[in-house]
Each structure stands twice: as C-alpha cells, then as structure tokens.
Chains A and B, each alone.
Chain A
C-alpha cells in the first residue's frame, strides 16, 4: 500500500511521530503545521489522504474539512480527523461535516495504521486513486 498523505498537525512532536509511523508503513508523508494555509498545501501536493488535527492555529480543522467537502476536486478525498478534546460532540460534528474517520488522542499506532489503511482501501474500491 502506498500513496501520498498530507498530515496537518501543529504539535511538532506528534507530527514527527505520525510521520515516522506512516512513512515506515510505506506512505509518502507531507507535514504541514498551519491551519490557515492547509488548503493551499492540499492543492499543491494533491494527497491521496489527509490526516487533519482539529485544534490548529489560524484555522480550525473542522472549517478546513468543510471547505474540502465544498470543493468538487476534494469532495471525495478521504479525511482522518484527530482531536485531543475527546468529546462526543466534536466527533459527531466531524462525521456530519464529512470526515471519513475520527481518532481521539492519544491513540495507538496500530489503530492509526489500520484506519489509514481502511480509508485507502475504501477509496481504491470506489475506483479512484
């Protein structure tokens, strides 16, 4: 399994950890630390999958998600949301806005990998990517 993943996360250490895990599993990982410019990064890199933190400086992950779904070219792009707030309401909001999966920090590396793999396979099954 391979492909490009855009990882939007402001905590440097978490960015490094997730990057390390996914890279080792064969993904090509692009990191991005600012919410305000995340959409530009998506357009620039054209990822197969996005891992998106909710609490971001500049712009919230949920707003970015809404914009992604509003644009035809990214409407179907698989998005995995990460949040440290751990409240059920955030999870519901994210899923309503069209997130494909949702993980609460801290998560296990195995869960992260399994979720990313499931999303990639689902996308492959729809015949795109």
Chain B
C-alpha cells in the first residue's frame, strides 16, 4: 500500500500534468492550432463535471442504502438531453447571441437586464454551490484518509489536506480562469484539463467495474446471481421519490452554475451539442454501469458496517489491487477538482459581474465602465471571488465535515438552484414572462427552500435542531420546517420541493400576468423566445436556392460590377458551375456577407442578405445594429466636417499670413526704392559738381568755393542719412541699449535747443518756454530723449512757414505721466498727411527741398516707444503740434 507521502507526490504530479495540459491547450488555442479543443468530444467530456466526487463515490453508497435510487441522478439529465434537446439548443443559441456569461446573466438579460435579479440568482447560486464544494473537499480528504499511513512527515493531517487542496484549486482556477476578460468567456486550457479528468474518472470506474465483474465474480452471469442474492436488490421502490429526484436532477443540469458554464458559455460550436445529445447520456450510462456490482461486492467483502461511500476505493484496496486503487483515487480526485474549478469560475464571474463591480461602480462613481482601469477591477474582483468561494467551501467543510448534514446537502443544493428553473424556462418559452414575475417566483421559492431545508441543515451543523425549527416560530406549528402547512413531512426534501417549486411557478406566472413588461424587457423577451428568427447559427447561412441572381444585383450595387462579378465568378468556379452564378451555399453567403460588411457594415450586410434569401426576417435587433452602424457613420462624417472646417480655418490663416507677407515684401521694396532715391539725390549733386571742378574748363573762385561747399554739405547729408538708417534699424530690432539715468526735463530741453542751433543769434525761430513747468525729475535715457526733442525743434525750424516763426514748449503733469508739447505757429500739417508723417521717408509735400531724408519722426517715435512713452501729432486749428508722452516710471518726485 502506498504511503501518505507517496500519495501526495502522485497528486502533485497529477496536478502538475493538468497544469501542463492547460498551458499547452491555451498556447495551441492562441495559435489557432488546437483542433482537438474544438471537437465535440472535448465538449461532451467537459459536461461530465456533472458527475462530481459525490456521485463518483456516493452512487455506490446510495445503491447500498436505497437500491437503484442513485440512477435518478443520471436519469434526469439523460431525459433532458434526449427529450429536451431542443431546449438545450435554444439555450446555447441564446447564450451565444446575447453573449451570456453565466446563469445569472441569462436571467438578468432576459428580464430587461435587471441588476437585482442577477444579484438574487448569484446569491442563490453561491448558497447552493458552497456546500457542494465542501462535499468535494470532504471526499478528497476521506479518500486520502483511506490511504493514510504514517509517512516520513509523520501522521497525515486531514485538515491540512483540505486546505491545501482548496488553495491549489484556487490557484489553478485563477491561472486558467482569469487570464483575460474575453467577450466569449471561453477557457480552452481549463476545458481541456477537465476533459482529461473526465476520461480519468470514467476509466477508473470502468476499471473497477470490470475487475469486480470478471476478476471477483466469474462474469456477468455470476454477477447477476450475486446481485439477486444481495440486500441491494431488496430495497423498496419509492415512485414519488424517483419522480422527484429525476426532475430535480434534470433541473440541476439546466440551472447549476457550473453546468451552465460548460454547456453554454464554453460552447464554441452549436453543432457540438448534437454530439453531446447522445454522447453525454452514454457517458452517464457507462459511469453508472458498474455501480450495483461494486456495491454488491463491497457489501460481500466489507459487510454492512463499512462505509459504503468508499467501496469504490476499499474494494480494490481490500483485494490488494493497489494500482487500481490509485487509479480510483485519481478518478475521485479528478471528479472533485474539476467540479470545484468550474464552479469557482462560474461563481466568480457572477459575483464579480453582478455584485462586486456594480457595488464598486456605485461607490467609486466611475463613469467610464469601458476603461482599462475597469477591466483591471473586474479581473481582480474575479480572482478575489475565486479565492472567496473556495474559502467559503472550506469553511463550510470545517463546520460540517463528516456530519449527516453535509451528506444531505447535495440534494438540498440541487433544489436551491432549481428555483431558477421556472424563470429560466418561462423566459425562453413565454414572451409574457416579466421581471416582476421572475423576481416573485425566484424570491418566494428561495425563501421557502431556505426556511424548509437550508436553515435546518445549517442549524443541524451546529448540532441538533433548535426549538425554533421543531415547533415553528411563535409556536405556529404550520410554519415549522418539520411540519410545513401542517403536513407531516415524511420526506422533507420532496415536501420542500413541491412547496417551493409550486409556489415559485405559481407566483412567477401570476406576477407575469399582472405586471407589464418594460420596453427593453419586451425586446429581450422576443430575442429569447424567437431566438432562431433573430440570430443565425454559428456555422453560417442555411443554403437557399434560387436567390443568386438577386444577390448578384445587390452585390453589384454595393461592390461595383467588376468586383461583384469577380467574386461570383470565383465562387461559381470553386463550385464547379459554369455561367458565373454560384449556388448560394452557406459558405458562399457567409463570404458574400463579409465582403459586403466591408462596405456597409456587418449588421446592414446581414440584413440585406437576409432580405434576399428570405431565410429570416429582419429583426428589431438587426435594425438596431443597422442604426448603430449608421450612427457611427454619421459620427465619422461629422468628424470629417469638423476636420474640413479646421482646414478652412487653416487656409484662411494661411491666406492672411500670405497677405501679410506680401504686404511686408511690398513695403520692403518701397523702402529700398526710397533709400535708393534718398542716396542717389545727394550723389547726383556731388558727382555733377565734382565733375565740373575736375574739368579743364575753369570756373571762378566764388563758384568753386560754392560748389565745394555744396559737395561738402551733400556728403554730410549722405552720412546723416546712413546714420539715421542704422539708428532706425537698431531701434526697430529692439537691440538698442538704453542708458537710463536721473535727469531734469529742463536740462534735456536746454541741451536739445542748443544742439538744434536754435539759440544762435541768427536763429529765426523764437522758442517760448515755462521753466517752472519744466522742473520735473525724470528717470530716462537723456541722450535719446534729447534726440527726439532736437528732431521736433529742427522740424519747426525747417517747416514752420509763419512770418515770425515761434515754437511753444509746454509741460503738463498728469496722473501717471508727463506730457511735453511742441506747438509752432505755422499752418500745420494738412489732415490727409497727418497719418503719414511718422512713416519712413514720408515728408510732407511742403517739406520738399528741405534737408533730411524723412526719417526723423519715424526714429523719434521708435525712441519714445523704447522709452515706454509715445509721440503723436495733435491735430489743431493752428500750427503743427507734437505731443511727447513720458511714462510714469520715468517720473521722479520733483
């Protein structure tokens, strides 16, 4: 016999192999290579998680206690798969079409995406599944203890076993169940691992059965004789219980969260269901084939005192078949682990989607549920849920392990999830079913079930039924779970089943009849009930004859004649037909639809093809999808419009910039032309007079002196012009360095008047000043300011046309600034030229012939701008009047 350590080693190896298989499957699936993954056999094998460790070991135990009653657990599902195959197919189709992620999602989607219903179903599922997980942990622990012999690590600790198994399963489920948040929610690695485990458990049971029939007995005939003689065949037959248990098992296969997960969510191809329709019942048949022989031989070997639940294991062990026993152990281990893994995965999806994430969203007020952040939250919620579910299962096992309560909880759990059945069936088959009805049905069934079965069972776990359950609350006997409605419940399970499902169904129908469905509910109701009209099978179109010409016309309209012709021609050739019109086979229709979708969107393409081949009417859902696509196109076109408006704006800005550049270029040309003129004019005089002086033809001394003087003056004029140009360039480029110091306004004016030569004895221009006003302290560049004053004074000298020219300089102190005005008594500047005088080279007409290039005022204005003030012409009735404005910061206390 194996030591405990050896057993642990085998388990670890086995689990490592499962990890390997799962990893390999994920990798192959990602590469799109795994054909065996998408085989109907894999699908069927994954369905076998229905047979858990409870049935793996417990069926033999049940056969010993109650005869053939264990068969009901297999009978119900078999009847569902054979008789209600159409219902399974409809569920799978709905699941695919609506992208259903769990049984709770199914119910919630059908009833108008109700969050409350989803949460209710989730709670029900958790309550119904947790004890089941505890059962699996118990069976693993029990099977360990059968093998338990003290090893190198001392006596085995069964408590330790349970917790390690739970932790290992949590890890496996997290690794392969929450890799990503895919819309399809399929887990190829996980499914292939449980398919392998299905083979292991079937092989183990068959091996024990064959050993028992041909190894212990002498073949089937001897076996039948032994069965005849065994107490197993003496059990009475309880018809009501048979019926009840079969219905319960049938309901469970539809409603159990883990079954829904493998049956609907993990389904990758609807056609797989057809294979499962006969293969799964066959699997159940095979797994139950040798239950009775094992039970009979077990009783013969170990007697009625032994635990019949472990006969599968103890029969080969007792006969010294250690290898066979190990295989059985691995089979039971597989049954337990595969159930726990899928159950934890299904529950975590429900808990995360319908309880944790909605609550988190409400608490954190996140308004973008599609963000990456949200996905991370959902994944974390699932991982935590998996851990939480397994912890709950382990906790329940610690509380109730080994008690009758745990043994009984299997069927109780079945009845719990069966409360979903009326709402599920009604939702699929009856458009009139409403959310109110579903909530009333599930809610009432749940309460009755909890009161009659779950709470007493939980109470029993604590040791004995409290008075509350014995006598009923407030002493009301009809409320007691022991005697509900005054019935003496001989079989509490059956009583509770009839009561809970009866009330559930009644209230569901009643609630649906009296309440009115919302618009979303009605739409979803139609989607579910008439799912075949609204969705297409996974594998494409049903071929419809005779529509090819219409399809060609439509395709030409959308794809263009050339492309449509080529498409049809190629398809016809591939089908071996002449004439260029292919048979509208499903493959061809699918291809055509894809091509059309590229132009008009998937939903529209589907609707158009559907219209022509008449296979299905265009549903509301199709129309909604078309509307969605149209909205997207409109969105796109409005984006285009925005882009084009943006472009127009850019173009306008470019035109503006271009106009500005053109204007600058024109100004530059004009400026160069002006400079040319201003340079050439003095040069003309200089050249003409110097040539005169150079000629042999003599001129008199007076003329020579005069000509030399002119040449000299014009040279100075050229120099001044160049100085001014450089000055202006420096000022305009802002490269001027200001030398700011403290200065008195009166001193600056003195200097300017002196430099302008206006103090000279022969000065024509009389200057009037008020020295008291001028006592203003400034902080400025005194040289530059003087330059401005000089320019204004010499302008007056040059241009004032009065008989007695006079320049009045007045100073005004205003808040924040000081103004100096230069006003002469001439005729002033004509209004139409006032705006031009500050332009470069712009001399007023009257100034023609006067020296100067016309840069003085332009320079002065630039200087004042640099000094933070300004220079302006003040229009007045009298002579020219210029105002120099000095800024506040140039002002110092007088």
Question: Which residues in A have some Cβ–Cβ distance to B below 8 Å?
Answer: 10-14, 16-18, 20-21, 24, 33, 55, 57-58, 84-87, 104-110
Cβ-closest chain A residue relative to B686: A106
Complex Cα–Cα for A57 and B703 (A):
28
Question: Which residues of chain A come closer than 8 Å to B371, judged between CB atoms?
Answer: none
Query: Max chain B CB contacts within 10 Å: which of A17, A55, A57, A85?
Result: A17
Does B798 interact with chain A (Cβ within 8 Å)? no
Question: Which residues of chain A come closer than 8 Å to B713, judged between CB atoms?
Answer: 13
Cβ-closest chain A residue relative to B689: A17
> Nearest chain A CB to B477's CB is how many angstroms away?
123
Are A10 and B688 in contact, with the CB atoms below 8 A?
Answer: no
Does B206 interact with chain A (Cβ within 8 Å)? no
Are A10 and B849 in contact, with the CB atoms below 8 A?
Answer: yes
Does B808 interact with chain A (Cβ within 8 Å)? no
Are B685 and A11 in contact, with the CB atoms below 8 A?
Answer: yes
Known contacts A86-B676, A105-B681; is-contact A21 B845 (Cβ 8 Å): no
Are B684 and A84 in contact, with the CB atoms below 8 A?
Answer: yes
Question: Which residues of chain B come closer than 8 Å to A16, judged between CB atoms?
Answer: 710
Sample of 10 more A-B contacts, CB < 8 Å, known A11-B849, A13-B685: A11-B681, A11-B685, A57-B845, A85-B676, A85-B677, A105-B684, A106-B680, A106-B687, A109-B688, A109-B692
Complex Cα–Cα for A1 and B683 (A):
29
Are A58 and B692 in contact, with the CB atoms below 8 A?
Answer: no
Interface positions of B from 766 to 802, Cβ below 8 Å from A: none
Are A109 and B691 in contact, with the CB atoms below 8 A?
Answer: yes
- Count of A-B contacts judged by CB separation below 8 Å: 69
> Nearest chain A CB to B139's CB is how many angstroms away?
108
Known contacts A16-B710, A24-B697; is-contact A86 B691 (Cβ 8 Å): no
Complex Cα–Cα for A108 and B687 (A):
7
Contact residue range for chain B?
20 to 34
Complex Cα–Cα for A14 and B685 (A):
5
**Main SS at interface, chain B:** helix
Choice from A33, A87, A106 contacting B849 with Cβ under 8 Å: A33
Complex Cα–Cα for A104 and B680 (A):
9
The 8 A-B residue pairs with the shortest CB-CB distance in the complex, in nearest-first order: A57-B848, A17-B688, A84-B680, A13-B685, A105-B684, A106-B687, A106-B684, A84-B677
Complex Cα–Cα for A86 and B680 (A):
9
Query: Max chain A CB contacts within 10 Å: which of B680, B714, B845?
Result: B680
CB-CB contacts of B672-707 with A at 8 A, as 1s and 0s?
Answer: 010011001111111111011001010000010000
Question: Which residues of chain B come closer than 8 Å to A84, judged between CB atoms?
Answer: 676-677, 680-681, 684
Question: Which residues in B have some Cβ–Cβ distance to A below 8 Å?
Answer: 673, 676-677, 680-689, 691-692, 695, 697, 703, 710, 713-714, 845, 848-849
Query: Max chain B CB contacts within 10 Å: which of A14, A24, A84?
Result: A84
Known contacts A13-B710, A17-B689; is-contact A106 B845 (Cβ 8 Å): no
Cβ-closest chain A residue relative to B680: A84
Complex Cα–Cα for A16 and B714 (A):
13
> Nearest chain B CB to A20's CB is how many angstroms away?
6
> Nearest chain A CB to B628's CB is how many angstroms away?
67
Choice from A12, A18, A106, A109 contacting B683 with Cβ under 8 Å: A106
Are A107 and B684 in contact, with the CB atoms below 8 A?
Answer: yes
Cβ-closest chain B residue relative to A56: B848
> Nearest chain B CB to A108's CB is how many angstroms away?
6
Query: Max chain A CB contacts within 10 Å: which of B681, B692, B697, B703?
Result: B681
Cβ-closest chain B residue relative to A24: B697
Question: Which residues of chain B come closer than 8 Å to A105, judged between CB atoms?
Answer: 680-681, 683-684
Complex Cα–Cα for A108 and B714 (A):
17
Cβ-closest chain B residue relative to A55: B677
Are B681 and A14 in contact, with the CB atoms below 8 A?
Answer: yes
Are B691 and A13 in contact, with the CB atoms below 8 A?
Answer: no
Known contacts A14-B685, A106-B684; is-contact A20 B692 (Cβ 8 Å): yes
Question: Which residues of chain A come closer than 8 Å to B685, judged between CB atoms?
Answer: 11, 13-14, 17
Question: Which residues of chain B come closer than 8 Å to A106, judged between CB atoms?
Answer: 680, 683-684, 686-688
> Nearest chain A CB to B104's CB is how many angstroms away?
89
Complex Cα–Cα for A86 and B674 (A):
11
> Nearest chain B CB to A7's CB is how many angstroms away?
12
Question: Which residues of chain A come closer than 8 Å to B673, judged between CB atoms?
Answer: 85, 87
Are A21 and B692 in contact, with the CB atoms below 8 A?
Answer: yes
Question: Which residues of chain B come closer than 8 Å to A104, judged between CB atoms?
Answer: 680
Are B849 and A57 in contact, with the CB atoms below 8 A?
Answer: yes
> Nearest chain B CB to A90's CB is how many angstroms away?
9
Question: Which residues of chain A come closer than 8 Å to B684, judged between CB atoms?
Answer: 11, 14, 17, 84, 105-107
> Nearest chain A CB to B437's CB is how many angstroms away?
96
Are B676 and A12 in contact, with the CB atoms below 8 A?
Answer: no
Complex Cα–Cα for A84 and B687 (A):
13
Cβ-closest chain A residue relative to B703: A20
Are A58 and B845 in contact, with the CB atoms below 8 A?
Answer: yes
Cβ-closest chain A residue relative to B713: A13
Cβ-closest chain A residue relative to B711: A13
In the assembled complex, 5 residue pairs joining A and B whose CB atoms fall closer than 8 Å, in A order, are A11-B849, A13-B714, A57-B848, A58-B845, A105-B681
Complex Cα–Cα for A20 and B692 (A):
9
Question: Which residues of chain A come closer than 8 Å to B681, judged between CB atoms?
Answer: 11, 14, 84, 105
Complex Cα–Cα for A24 and B845 (A):
32
Question: Which residues of chain A come closer than 8 Å to B695, judged between CB atoms?
Answer: 109
> Nearest chain B CB to A121's CB is how many angstroms away?
22
Query: Max chain B CB contacts within 10 Å: which of A11, A16, A106?
Result: A106
